[in-house]
Structure 1
Amino acid sequence: MNFERLDVWKRSAALSVAVFKHFKSSHERGLKDQITRSSLSISSNIAEGYERMSSKDCVRFLYYAKGSCGELRSQLYISMEIGEIDSNTAFQWINETTELSKMLGGLIKVISKS
């Protein structure tokens, strides 16, 4: 299976696009750079893991993607507190990162058993 067919990849890529669009006009450089990188890292690590030749490598990169979900979630809370993002959008994306993390955990279990 290729990564483009995975719902978790599709959803993480869509989240990254939304984050990039939101922060496009932001003047807060440090946070903007960090939050866009962590959002992009989720789908990128899923893709890289699926292009690896072994299940062990794939799982390792899925764990990286899962870690990036937590990193992004933390940054979203901070962004909301400093007024860079409204609470409705922040909580929508926080919920999405939580769901993506669960999906990745399930995928990791399936691949680890094979």
Structure 2
Amino acid sequence: MLIRKFRFEDLEIWKISIEIGDSLFDIADAMELRKLYRFAEQLRGAGMSISNNIAEGSGSASKKEFYQFLNYAKRSCYECANILILLQRRNHVTEEMKQSIFNRLEELSRKITNFQKSLEQRA
């Protein structure tokens, strides 16, 4: 049986974004248990936006369009960081948890930028 894959499934940046998304979903699930539904919804949406934009962009007809979707993914990294700051300030996540995810978001953002540079070089 032939197993088909989408192009994005082989991208390291997509794999990292899915791992981060899982962590953010765990936090969002905890927020819902505390009836913080808006925080949970916003965090899930921002977290999914990272991997969604990488996946969607990989199906673009042009490198320029893919590059733009990668910009959206990178911006979602910053949105997630901002939400985590608010959650930490409100004592909904620990400083250690925030910093751990921050480090992963910052690493992903750098890797997205490097991937964008590689797209430019292949143009």
Could you say which TM-score interval applies, normalised by the shorter chain?
over 0.9
Q: Which runs of 5+ in 1 are unaligned?
A: none
Matches within 5 A, 1:31-110: 31-110=39-118
Aligned-residue identity in percent: 28
2:119 corresponds in structure 1 to 111
Deviations 1:17-63 (A, max 9, x none): 11112221322111111111111110110000001111011001000
User: What is the aligned residue count?
Assistant: 114
Q: Which amino acid aligns with 2:104?
A: E
> RMSD value over aligned CA atoms?
1.3
- The match for 1:15 among 13, 20, 24 is 20
Determine which structure has more spread, i.e. the larger CA radius of gyration. 2
Report whether the alignment pairs 1:3 with 2:23: no
How many Å apart are 1:7 and its aligned residue? 1.3
Equivalence for 1:24:
29
What secondary structure, in the 3-state scheme, does the structure 1 residue paired with 2:100 have? helix
- Which ranges of structure 2 fall in alignment gaps of 5 or more residues? 1-5
Residues of 1 paired with 2:84 and 2:64: CA distance? 31
Question: Which amino acid in structure 1 is aligned with residue 12 of structure 2?
Answer: D
